[in-house]
Chains A and B, each alone.
Chain A
Amino acid sequence: MAMTTYVQAINEALREEMERDPLTFVMGEDVVLSAFGATKGLVDRFGPERVRNTPIAEAGFVGAAVGAAMAGTRPICEVEFASFFYCAFDQVCNQAAKLRYMSGGQAKLPITFRCVYGAMGGAAAQHSETVYAQFLSVPGLKIVVPSSPSDVKGLLKSAIRDDNPVIVFEHGALGRQREEIPPGEHLVPLGKAAIKRPGDNITVIAIGAMVPKALRVAEKLAGENISVEVLDPRTLVPLDEEAILRSVEKTNRAIVVDEGHLRGGAASDIAAMIAEKGFDFLDGPVKRVTSLDVPIPFSPPLEKATIADEGRIEAAIREALGA
């Protein structure tokens, strides 16, 4: 089996789904040339009708995706960096998220939004943010955060087939990560967590780019006979509560690791769910390891101090286990 990068996996998913459904199309800024490579070459196969460069006009083309979806197509809309979503908040949160409900179920909004999120080294606050938490409290949106090439392929394909608005957050630092992807049709359902590494002493629930970091820590601690289970929820909405609670029932301890901020963040949301529904399983408080509550700074030592990393994951595990 060939090794596929995260970015190639996205490209494969887009190709396969565009082959499958002629009403799918891709639009966004510079999707024809594709700086990150995710949409590279699609125009050669599918033509400029279905692979559209947009003006720099996020409110406009994100809203156009909403309208195109309501009128029977299946747009795949790229918003480059995740924080550019702020320019299109109304169209995502007031329109895409709500119109099905507010129309009494008449509207169907099969839109897939894709964006790059997270700190990738000196990109500063307006290009480094982890913004999915901002969408977590807007019912009507599904939120997907793939941590590996095979997950991004399978989840993106499911997102495109889903009849709801789905936002897929692709971490900028994962682009060159490689992995073997199962051949043939590879779908990963939305709402199903994955145990990325089984363990007995503690559950580390890690999101997106924090998954490979948690796995490295788990590997290191295995050498000291500390057995860490790494669980990747893969989608934040829907959230696989059952899988998380099952794991915590086994290990009796939980840490949630996220690159987003602490206040109002995904880690806080998941930790609260565990505390509420899994209280009886717990031998200690649920811990949260997140980035600091500051805008992501530019200077490398400051960025490093801000973003959740292996050192802080390890320290949290040791503290929880008294090891």
Chain B
Amino acid sequence: MDIGKDLLLEMYRAMVRIRLFEGKVRDLATANEIPGFVHVSIGEEASAAGVCAALRKTDRITSTHRGHGHLIAKGGRLAEMMAEIYGKRTGYCKGKGGSMHIVDFNLGILGANGIVGAGLPIATGSALAAVIAKRDDVTVCFFGDGASNEGTFHESLNLAAIWKLPVVYVCENNGFGEFTPMQTVTSVKDIAVRAQAYGIPGYVVDGNDVLEVYRYASEAVARARAGEGPTLLECKTYRWEGHVVGEQAFLGSGAYRTEQEINEWKARCPLVRFQKFAAESGKIDAAELKRIEEETAAELDAAVKFARESPLPAPSEVAEDVYV
């Protein structure tokens, strides 16, 4: 599959936006400038970017507690995201949701979620809606390896299989659920094999290679759109940062994985990988990548400024939006 230059640059931009945004959020959370639990996805940018590049604006996604990257890749605006994370009235959810709960219906983002595994049936239902309403949109469900042990994963795959729903399940396997290594709580080495039990295709994908992710995702999305049913993709990747920002304070460092393991994965950085591809293929020159990085840095600065200067919600807004 030949991937056009515009799309290549779009994917790189998505990865850079995620990388810089997440680094900033981590620093702000560390400095106690933003409240609550914050989970960042540095090191996992390629799965979000590669999958969302295969989607149309009218396609939908569900996300997780570690959701900033998915939302950014689906087109989320950094300013409103940052404002939400600050708890400001100008945030995507008027400050009611925060880091774990950002939603933008205009972009088909049905939401990040604080409950592990909750997005699976929701994405399944979103795909059902496309069938009922006779539309050809597709839903992607992002979730972790940990979530694949929830009943909702198994119930959803079966449901989507019997109804041939236009949904793509994207498991981002980063090797851990919180501080528990995946292999100590999961019966299989590859989550992708679980697809077999439900009679649907399942593939292991190099989750740090945005081009490979894009190729698998495009095929799965095309299948879904053509009414051929769901696919399970397992993107193997790794989170460089802790499960939650600040975990060293109560766990110390090296509590559940080694520096060496982290460094091995850092050497497989999805952004560096793309830069190498760009140079070797001769398709894109370094200056173009540099420009994307600079533009993104400026976009992020403006987002933080917007968030900082935005007003907090007034206490009187507390009861709005409970019901329609």
Could you tell me which A residues sit within 8 Å of B by CB distance?
Answer: 29-30, 32-33, 35-37, 53-60, 83-84, 86-87, 121-127, 292-295, 297-302, 304-306
Residues of B within 8 A of A125 (CB): 96, 101, 114
> At the interface with chain A, which of B55-63, B231-239, B316-324?
B316-324
Total number of B residues with any Cβ neighbor in A under 8 Å: 43
Could you tell me which B residues sit within 8 Å of A by CB distance?
Answer: 34-37, 87-88, 93, 95-98, 100-101, 113-117, 146-147, 149-151, 177-180, 184-186, 247, 250-251, 255-256, 312-315, 317-319, 322
> Which secondary structure dominates chain B's binding surface?
loop
29 chain-A/chain-B pairs, Cβ below 8 angstroms: A29-B180, A32-B180, A35-B178, A35-B179, A35-B250, A53-B185, A55-B186, A56-B117, A56-B146, A57-B151, A84-B115, A87-B150, A121-B36, A122-B35, A122-B37, A122-B98, A124-B97, A124-B98, A125-B96, A126-B100, A127-B37, A293-B322, A295-B322, A297-B95, A298-B35, A298-B95, A298-B98, A299-B312, A305-B318
Q: Which of A35, A57, A59, A301 has the most CB of B within 10 A?
A: A57
Having A60-B151, A293-B322, one finds 11 other A-B pairs with CB under 8 Å, namely A33-B255, A35-B251, A53-B184, A55-B186, A56-B150, A56-B177, A299-B88, A301-B312, A301-B314, A302-B95, A302-B315
Q: Are A298 and B36 in contact (CB under 8 A)?
A: yes
Shortest C-beta distance, A157 to chain B (Å), equals 25
From B36, B146, B151, B317, contact of A124 by CB (8 A): B36
> Which secondary structure dominates chain A's binding surface?
loop
Q: A272–B87 Cα gap in the complex (Å)?
A: 37
Shortest C-beta distance, A257 to chain B (Å), equals 19
Residues of A within 8 A of B115 (CB): 83-84, 86-87, 126
8 closest A-B pairs (Cβ-Cβ)?
A: A122-B35, A122-B36, A298-B98, A299-B87, A299-B95, A126-B114, A55-B149, A305-B315
Residues of A within 8 A of B147 (CB): 56
Residues of B within 8 A of A53 (CB): 180, 184-185
Shortest C-beta distance, A302 to chain B (Å), equals 5
Given contacts A35-B251, A126-B115, contact A298 B151 (CB under 8 A): no
Residues of B within 8 A of A32 (CB): 180
Q: A125–B34 Cα gap in the complex (Å)?
A: 17
Q: A60–B207 Cα gap in the complex (Å)?
A: 29
- Closest partner residue, chain B, to A302 (CB atom): B318
Q: A37–B252 Cα gap in the complex (Å)?
A: 12
Q: A57–B36 Cα gap in the complex (Å)?
A: 24
Q: A304–B251 Cα gap in the complex (Å)?
A: 29
Shortest C-beta distance, A245 to chain B (Å), equals 34
Q: A87–B88 Cα gap in the complex (Å)?
A: 30
From A29, A35, A122, A126, contact of B177 by CB (8 A): A29
Q: Are A33 and B251 in contact (CB under 8 A)?
A: yes
Residues of A within 8 A of B319 (CB): 292, 294
Shortest C-beta distance, A110 to chain B (Å), equals 25
- Closest partner residue, chain A, to B145 (CB atom): A56
Shortest C-beta distance, B258 to chain A (Å), equals 15
Q: A182–B268 Cα gap in the complex (Å)?
A: 55
Q: Are A294 and B322 in contact (CB under 8 A)?
A: yes
Residues of A within 8 A of B35 (CB): 121-122, 298, 300
Residues of A within 8 A of B317 (CB): 302
Q: Which of A298, A299, A305 has the most CB of B within 10 A?
A: A299
Q: Are B180 and A301 in contact (CB under 8 A)?
A: no
Residues of A within 8 A of B251 (CB): 33, 35
Residues of A within 8 A of B100 (CB): 124, 126-127
Q: Which of B97, B317, B318, B319 has the most CB of A within 10 A?
A: B318
Shortest C-beta distance, A292 to chain B (Å), equals 6
Residues of A within 8 A of B117 (CB): 56, 87
Q: Are A299 and B186 in contact (CB under 8 A)?
A: no
Q: A304–B247 Cα gap in the complex (Å)?
A: 25
Q: A122–B29 Cα gap in the complex (Å)?
A: 12
Residues of A within 8 A of B113 (CB): 126
Q: Are A297 and B96 in contact (CB under 8 A)?
A: yes
- Closest partner residue, chain A, to B87 (CB atom): A299
Q: A297–B98 Cα gap in the complex (Å)?
A: 9
Shortest C-beta distance, B124 to chain A (Å), equals 16
Residues of B within 8 A of A121 (CB): 35-36
Residues of B within 8 A of A295 (CB): 96, 322
- Closest partner residue, chain A, to B244 (CB atom): A35
Q: A60–B37 Cα gap in the complex (Å)?
A: 26
Shortest C-beta distance, B40 to chain A (Å), equals 16
Q: Are A299 and B178 in contact (CB under 8 A)?
A: no
Residues of B within 8 A of A55 (CB): 146, 149, 177, 185-186
- Closest partner residue, chain B, to A301 (CB atom): B312
Q: Are A57 and B150 in contact (CB under 8 A)?
A: yes
Shortest C-beta distance, B302 to chain A (Å), equals 21
